[in-house]
Structure 1
Amino acid sequence: MKKILLFIALCFSFQSAHSQVLLSLIFGDKLNSPNLEFGLEGGANFSTISNLEDAKYATDFNLGFYFDFNLKNPKWMVNTGVIVKSTMGADGLAVYSLNNENLDNVFAGGYVDRTIKYFNVPILIKYKFDNNIYVKAGTQLGLLSKAYDEFKNDYNGEDVEYKNNIRDQIHVIDAGLAVGAGYRLTGGNGMNLGIQYYYGLVPVLKGDSSPNQFNRSFYITAGIPIGKGKAARIAAEKKAGEEK
């Protein structure tokens, strides 16, 4: 457990996703054990904000790492980790005033794409069937990283954009429910292919003006165990040495 906490602390100390991937590759086999699986997970996500007029789904990609802790019954696990790159928000929102006459004129008739970036931590109970299909459900907590509205328009034949920082308008902590399912390829050490849905329960915006707007996100992911095969081989060799 100390190794896992140290690894998570190291990941948060590096800002880029590339650095976190590198750390995962370096420490992967050291984090795996017979009762613990560690790996990288990433894919596409489709997000929107409920009860927000004109909101369309925004498409982005997600990247992070996961841990599967085996419980006493090997069919049951605790699935957690950190989705380091996890973008939510919505596209195609109506333009609002920027309190600048020139900007308002330029973007009149355009649209706004809202981007909200979190570090998300799912904490799920996972059940694995004999046919390598699994289901999982639980909660997900999010820590706000960045948030901005990107104004877009075609102005005098040119594409124009303006980024408006709205981080101070967004709740720093997000939380909600998550459910998912997936399939494990090629037995115990193969890739996980999964889907997951997140249903936010904390209003996105601060204040009382929009109390019914919540994050919604659908994930399609692929998870790759890092160093599990090597860790299993080392454990088998150690056990064989003890039996001699």
Structure 2
Amino acid sequence: MKNYLIVLIFLLSSSYANSQVLISLLLGDKLNSDGMEFGLETGYNFASISGMDSHKSLGSFNIGFYFDIRMDEPWYFYTGVLVKSRLGGHKLSAEDLEFLQVDLYPEAGDYSQKLNYFLVPTLIKYKMDNHIYFEAGPQFGLMHKAWVEYNSDVEGKDARIRQYNKDMINKFDVGVVGGLGYQLMKGKGITLGLKYYYGFLDVYKDKSGTNNSSWFLKANIPIGAAKKEAAAN
């Protein structure tokens, strides 16, 4: 188990996230098979941190790759890596900013906590005959960048300032995911889904009860699956 964890951390710690997505696009047709679907997962999520004074959601785009592996139909194992994904919270209050010890600016503006993670879902999926599916299971996260961002727009002048606070954040996150969705083209095309994540570990080292949570609107895009089907026919 320890060896598997080390391998996982090494994979997630890679600084070649963009290259991983590019390789996925190039090799997708070789990774797809009758028992496994491979492709890109992308979408938009709305994240927040419990235990903070502000509960405003932080919206952001995400992208990664996935493996949908058939076990014993209709049961599947779903995993992969969101190599560009962000959690956090938006419109932090004065109480939040005092805890985070950030510099304040006189001009009106919003402060957001932004946390960049590599996210690895390990889900069990149940696919129905009508191509609707349900999924649930644990998700693991590795935080690699964190900052409080100040944004203002005063008299037509935009300002964006980052104050990095990675040292305040716990590096790992573990939680649970539940979701559902539908696969187009009679189970052969793009999958559209909705899932919810709730983290079990504290986000901040010095503040208990601060847990990540996020709604994810997602689209799974099979890479090379059409080529496999055409070749089989």
For normalisation by structure 1, the TM-score amounts to 0.82
1:228 is displaced (CA, Å) by: 1.4
Return closer, same or farther for 1:40/1:154 CA change in 2, 3 Å cut-off.
Answer: closer
Inter-partner Cα distance in structure 2 for 1:190 and 1:47:
28
Inter-partner Cα distance in structure 1 for 2:58 and 2:83:
18
1:134-177 per-residue CA deviation (whole Å, 9 max, x = no partner) reads 00000100011110001234668844332110111111101100
Inter-partner Cα distance in structure 2 for 1:144 and 1:76:
31
Structure possessing the higher radius of gyration over alpha carbons: 1
Return closer, same or farther for 1:13/1:166 CA change in 2, 3 Å cut-off.
Answer: closer
Inter-partner Cα distance in structure 1 for 2:17 and 2:41:
18
Partner of 1:230, secondary structure, is helix
Query: Which blocks of at least 5 consecutive residues in structure 2 are unaligned?
Result: 1-6
> Matches of residues 58-69 of structure 1 in structure 2 within 5 Å?
58-69=58-69
1:55-79 per-residue CA deviation (whole Å, 9 max, x = no partner) reads 30011111111101111x2210000
User: In structure 1, what is the equivalent of residue 115 of structure 2?
Assistant: 116
Inter-partner Cα distance in structure 2 for 1:52 and 1:11:
28
User: In structure 2, what is the equivalent of residue 14 of structure 1?
Assistant: 16
1:29 is displaced (CA, Å) by: 1.1
> Matches of residues 1-244 of structure 1 in structure 2 within 5 Å?
12=14, 14-16=16-18, 19-71=19-71, 73-95=72-94, 96=97, 104=104, 106-107=105-106, 110-153=109-152, 158-207=157-206, 210-234=207-231, 236=232
**Letter aligned with residue 70 of structure 2:** N
Identity percentage of aligned residues: 42
Query: Which blocks of at least 5 consecutive residues in structure 1 are unaligned?
Result: 238-244
Root mean square deviation of aligned Cα:
2.6
Inter-partner Cα distance in structure 2 for 1:188 and 1:145:
35
Inter-partner Cα distance in structure 2 for 1:23 and 1:154:
39
Return closer, same or farther for 1:165/1:135 CA change in 2, 3 Å cut-off.
Answer: same
Kindly tell me the number of residue pairs found equivalent between the two proteins. 222
CA contact (8 A) 2:83 2:118 kept: yes
**Letter aligned with residue 168 of structure 1:** D
Return closer, same or farther for 1:52/1:124 CA change in 2, 3 Å cut-off.
Answer: same
**Letter aligned with residue 185 of structure 2:** T
Return closer, same or farther for 1:156/1:188 CA change in 2, 3 Å cut-off.
Answer: closer
CA contact (8 A) 2:77 2:123 kept: yes
Partner of 2:33, secondary structure, is coil
CA contact (8 A) 2:114 2:148 kept: yes
Partner of 2:227, secondary structure, is helix
